Amino acid sequence: MTKRIGRLHILTDTVQQTRFSHVELAEMAFAGGADTIQLRQKEGSTRELIETARDMKKRCAEAGVTLIVNDRLDVALASASDGVHLGQDDFPIPLARDILGPDRIIGGSAATLEEAEKCVADGADYIGFGPVFPTDSKDDAGPVSGIEVLAEVVRRYPLPIIAIGGISIKNAAEVIRAGAHGIAVISAVCCQDDPAQATRALFQALQIELSKKND
């Protein structure tokens, strides 16, 4: 089975902004062209998070959009989400594969070449690499890697590389030119006045660069 790894990942957030719920952000994001939604919530009731994930899964499925749950393998399993994204200190990817099975998507986070290599060895389906640029969206973000290291990760490792960290409409094209498969953003969509339009602008920027690569 060939898994479809999206190019425009929107991580929903209700901490940096409180106007919109996870579900509302997801709907605005896929209305703007996002092909992957990642539910990201670090705190709160597990029961409520499962309910939110199930609601998001239903709406994403109707829209033909992939739903990934950040960190929480239990929530991904309980909500029948399409996959899970795991950091270096989260649930081990090989064990997650044993639990989720071969068909679900498992993404791994990496901030260095060594961590990217570990994601490959562990059997991740894609690597979320970054922070590529400075970011205030993640408290646990490590040192900025920069475009050159991103390009090296793309060159070395045979998995789709999703660039994350400080990605915006100003630099999205640059990371695609560096060879990234796609981008993942939080504040560039969630914290904007019109998340749907912000997503649309990113989608269009990606399409322009990808069309150039295919010419």
Write down how long the chain is. Answer: 215
Residue 155 annotated among the catalytic residues of the structure: no
Query: Cα separation of 163 and 149, whole Å?
Result: 11
Active-site pick, 72, 79, 81, 109:
109
Query: Cα separation of 8 and 210, whole Å?
Result: 12
Residue 40 annotated among the catalytic residues of the structure: yes
Active-site pick, 7, 40, 57, 200:
40
Residue 72 annotated among the catalytic residues of the structure: no
Query: Cα separation of 146 and 138, whole Å?
Result: 16
Active-site pick, 57, 138, 168, 187:
138
Give the single-character DSSP code of 169: T
CA distances to 10, 95, 131, 165, 172 from 144, rounded to whole Å, are 20, 29, 5, 8, 16
DSSP helix/strand/coil, 164:
strand
Strands 126-129 and 8-12, sheet pairing: unpaired
Instruction: Tell me which residues are annotated as active site.
Output: 40, 109, 138
